Amino acid sequence: MDKYRSLLNERAAVLTQKKATLAPERAVFAEVITRTASQSKETLTRQLFREDQVQQIFEQLDQVRDALQRVNDGSYGACCECGGEISASRLQLLPETPFCLSCQRTTELG
């Protein structure tokens, strides 16, 4: 468990740093979006993409925090959907994931 705890802590540090670099730009982008009505669709799409990235980082940070909590209460490594075991290789790659691979697929398919 300690291995995953440090993986998650590293993850949180990286994400927090990313958030710090993206967040100020986010404010600028929001301003540009509201100020410029006549911009091209392409520019707007790119801005929204950046917006998505920031959103994603926030979500990942949430997941990392939840995962650390699961490490603490001993439920880490079990899928939050089906209760099955999440494979070690998957946790190594995506330590904050709350789902096993098959549940993740199901979720993504909607």
Residue 78 gets which letter from DSSP?
A: B
Where b means 16+ CB within 10 Å and e means fewer, 11-20 reads bbeebeebee
Binding piece for Zn ion, criterion CB under 5 A, among 15-23, 30-38, 64-72, 76-84: 76-84
Measured from the CB atom, is 82 or 93 closer to Zn ion?
82
Asked if residue 100 binds Zn ion (CB under 5 A), the reply is yes
| Contact residues for 78 (Cβ-Cβ < 8 A; gap 6+) | 70, 84, 85, 86
Asked if residue 78 lies in contact with residue 84, where contact means CB atoms within 8 angstroms, the answer is: yes
Measured from the CB atom, is 62 or 85 closer to Zn ion?
85
Nearest distance in Å: CB 101, Zn ion: 8
Asked if residue 81 binds Zn ion (CB under 5 A), the reply is yes
Nearest distance in Å: CB 86, Zn ion: 8
Asked if residue 103 binds Zn ion (CB under 5 A), the reply is yes
Nearest distance in Å: CB 100, Zn ion: 4
Number of residues binding to Zn ion, judged by CB under 5 A:
6
What is the number of residues in the chain?
110
Asked if residue 22 lies in contact with residue 53, where contact means CB atoms within 8 angstroms, the answer is: yes
Site residues for Zn ion per CB under 5 A:
79, 81-82, 84, 100, 103
